[in-house]
Amino acid sequence: MFFLRGTILFGLLIAFAGCSSDVTINEVDGGTSDTDTDTDADTDTDTDTDTDTDTDSDTDSDTTAPTIVSITPADGSDDVHDDDAVVIVFSEAMDQASTQAAVSISPVTEVVSETWNGDNTELSVVYDLECAEAIHPATVSSANSYTVTVTDVAEDEAGNQLSAGDAVTFTTLNRTIYALELITTLSGNTYIPPSGNWSFIGCGDNVNDGLKRGFMSFNIAPFPTTELTSLESAVIDSAIRGISGDPTGDFGDMSLGHSSIFNTDAEAASATVIADQGVFIPATPTPAADDIVIHDVTAAFEDDVINRVARQNRSQFLLEYLLGTVPPSVDAETDFLHIWNDSGAGSYCSGYPGTQCTFLVVSSLNP
């Protein structure tokens, strides 16, 4: 019996040997009760409440003054086109309102637009610049000069003012205008097939429903081949002189074709179209007398200058309704539209620019 109890006691000792709690063991031996009470109460309570609050902030304020990286056009440029933008690049994102207020131009010129890139580091300003102009044979006496100034009141997005302002002065290109005149003996209209020539430049049909084709020729000799690299544009500049009947109602749009060479009205009637130049006078809105007609023919003119020997120093064009693909109307009425047929100073045309004239107006740009 003792052995069994001893075994149990030994097991209890092993079981509690690693416990930190206090243990009371009652041993009963022959009626004797020995009670050993360990009242060592370890009440160590660790109440370490370290409340170290790290309030270190990474919100360092921006105190760096922005700078101007570049301004385009560069100072001293003499080849600025009248629609070129002034582009100002900054070292960091800028406040739009204060920066735009800091930019000015002299002489005072209308602002067409102001735009920023996505991160507000680049401002593009388009001004209503003008190129100095002269009508050949006159020449430009002096180029137009402009100064763009950026003052240091411009601020970045943090409110720092520009470290220093800057200014650039540039000049726009000089524009020379060549008002190339009609060759009146090779301009007018003729029947298809040919049966006579009339001086009015136009097309449509007559009371007998005979289809008419218009044609015009311009003398390009005054334009030097060396200016071709500086060519800006070439346009036919004219106006509607008169309308009989309802040509647009019968035929629709009047078209323009760049013509092969012709030397007579009969040849004009059968000349081929080198390149379609598109609609010259549209049917909509309904055309009326005195309407201005301006049509770009730059590519055709350039081709004529390149081939000026073979083209005998001419630019020649054909006027038709849909380039002859529509048959004449059968209403027994005259349906005809014509433009002004003179370029020289006379009873109607007073020279370029004029409202009762037809010119091939060519412009070139040079520093």
171 and 77 in contact (C-beta within 8 Å)? yes
Beta strands 25-29 and 32-36, pairing class: antiparallel
**pLDDT tens-digit series, residues 148-176:** 999 999 999 999 999 999 999 999 999 99
What is the pLDDT at residue 230? 97
Give all domains of the chain, ordered by start, each with its CATH number.
68-172 (2.60.40.1220), 179-366 (no CATH)
241 and 340 in contact (C-beta within 8 Å)? yes
**pLDDT tens-digit series, residues 6-43:** 333 233 222 333 434 443 434 434 444 444 444 444 44
Q: Is there a cis peptide before residue 73, judged by omega within 30 degrees of 0?
A: yes
